[in-house]
């Protein structure tokens, strides 16, 4: 069942057991086009190709979301995740410390849009994957 797979992927990601490419591949396989992570409400909503959604509560405590958006700190966290030197639990801490309140990962579009508390944004294209 795709909802169970989505739930399992979300939990394993939060436990630091998976890399971003592994998560993307697993979600695409069950029809997820995008997902929205909201650190303020501590939930992740998945948007499927068939128009349905599935929300999974975060088991991580994201930490305080600082008021000022720091794009340099955010990019450093992103690069760490891309290089697999930072797994998701640490990525969440670094992101909220950089002022990220949430992000929308567009799997089909191969980009992620990160949001600050005042509407600031950083758009990150997926790195070339072989």
Q: Which residues on adjacent β-strands are paired with residue 55?
A: 45
Closest C-alpha among 40, 52, 39, 43 to residue 11: 43
Which residue matches tokens 């966290």? 77
Q: What domains can you pick out in the chain, each with its CATH number?
A: 2-125 (3.30.1810.10)
Taking only the tens place, the pLDDT of each residue in 23-40 is 999 999 999 999 999 999
Distance of CA 86 to the CA centre of its chain: 13
Residue 83: other Cβ atoms inside 10 A: 10
pLDDT the model gives residue 62: 87
Q: Return the H-helix or E-strand segment holding 38.
A: strand 32-38
**pLDDT beneath 70: ranges in the chain:** 1, 129-130
- Please report, for residues 31, 100, 103, 106, 109, the alpha-carbon distance to residue 40 in angstroms, rounded to integers and kept in the order given: 26, 10, 11, 20, 25
pLDDT the model gives residue 128: 74
| Backbone angles phi and psi of 106, in degrees to 5 | -95, 95
pLDDT the model gives residue 2: 87
Q: Which residues on adjacent β-strands are paired with residue 116?
A: 100
Cβ pair 30, 6 in contact under 8 A? yes
pLDDT the model gives residue 130: 44
């Amino acid at each position: 069942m795709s909802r169970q797979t989505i739930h399992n992927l979300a939990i394993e990601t939060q436990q630091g057991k998976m890399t971003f490419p592994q998560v993307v591949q697993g979600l695409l396989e069950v029809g997820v086009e995008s997902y929205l992570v909201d650190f303020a409400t501590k939930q992740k909503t998945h948007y499927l190709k068939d128009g349905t959604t599935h929300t999974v509560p975060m088991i991580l405590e994201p930490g305080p979301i600082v008021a000022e958006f720091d794009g340099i700190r955010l990019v450093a966290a992103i690069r760490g995740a891309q290089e697999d030197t930072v797994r998701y639990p640490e990525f969440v801490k670094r992101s909220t410390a950089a002022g990220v309140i949430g992000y929308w990962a567009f799997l089909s579009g191969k980009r992620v849009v990160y949001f600050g508390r005042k509407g600031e944004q950083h758009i990150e294209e997926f790195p070339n994957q072989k």
